[in-house]
A and B are shown apart, each in its own frame.
Chain A
């Protein structure tokens, strides 16, 4: 059987694809895991399907003698496959970043500002400004500069770094949950005591008022 061989350029492109596919798959699996009710985003699967189609054209070019084309057909299709994979990576990272932000919001919205301040001391000075300012601005900038025709692996790396930072914040929020619950319980207990004391003082004042009225009349 004839051996399949790739040119140096094709081999480099294939290596680049494998390097991008590996983390992209990890991001998709993670997104499906943390997505509410395990809801999926089929657009990403569509991009992977199209990437596979172009990759199969390259393989056919190598293994089917009548499809042999030496005019750069393989390279062109590898570029297109990489473009689809690149878009899948972008969509998957976007998906994860939105889920993480929504999860942090849902998790913390149940608690008071003072509970968050006490249980997550760096939330207001660091985490919130990063989540509402720097990170979405940087993501918007990366997305605006995204060029499917000329994929830039560096921007994917930068995007992945931002999503990793968001994941770390989400894990901190999850880890702070017991402390947040404790604080909320104390807050509720404190408020109950306060209401009882106010009630007792009011009752004492009313009783004193009645007593004084009787004495004076």
Chain B
């Protein structure tokens, strides 16, 4: 099957079913740089996301801010 051949050529392994996806790296600059060349999520492409580090910072800040 053509798809089967492509899979082997691309990854070099017969059975990819039990291989986990890698951990993605969320980098805004890199995402914006590649946005002009690749299609994908509009939010991600526009940099409208929080990286795990940013989110942790925001989370801590919000929880530490006393309410009025």
Residues of A within 8 A of B (CB): 32, 37-43, 46, 49-50, 53, 57, 60, 67, 94-95, 98, 101-102, 104-105, 108-109, 111, 113, 116, 128, 131-132, 136
B29 within 8 Å of A (CB atoms): no
Interface size on B, residues (CB 8 A): 22
**Of B21, B58, B63, which one neighbours A53 at CB under 8 angstroms?**
B21
Beta-carbon contact of B62 and A109 below 8 Å: no
* A127 nearest CB neighbor, chain B only: B67
**Of B20, B21, B24, B50, which one neighbours A41 at CB under 8 angstroms?**
B50
**Of B21, B43, B48, B59, which one neighbours A98 at CB under 8 angstroms?**
B59
Neighbouring A residues of B34 by C-beta, 8 Å: none
B12 within 8 Å of A (CB atoms): no
Beta-carbon contact of B66 and A132 below 8 Å: yes
Neighbouring A residues of B43 by C-beta, 8 Å: 32, 38-40
Interface string of B21-43 (1 = CB under 8 A from A): 10010100000000000000101
Secondary structure dominating the interface of B:
loop
B17 within 8 Å of A (CB atoms): yes
* B60 nearest CB neighbor, chain A only: A98
Beta-carbon contact of A105 and B67 below 8 Å: yes
Neighbouring A residues of B17 by C-beta, 8 Å: 57, 60, 67
* Candidate in A40, A42, A57, A128 with the most chain B CB atoms within 10 angstroms: A42
* B26 nearest CB neighbor, chain A only: A42
Complex Cα distance, B48 from A128, in Å, reads 31
Neighbouring B residues of A42 by C-beta, 8 Å: 24, 26, 44, 49
Complex Cα distance, B21 from A40, in Å, reads 21
Beta-carbon contact of B52 and A43 below 8 Å: yes
With A43-B26, A50-B21 given, name 13 new contacts (CB 8 A): A32-B43, A39-B49, A40-B49, A40-B50, A42-B49, A46-B24, A60-B17, A67-B17, A98-B59, A98-B62, A102-B62, A109-B68, A111-B68
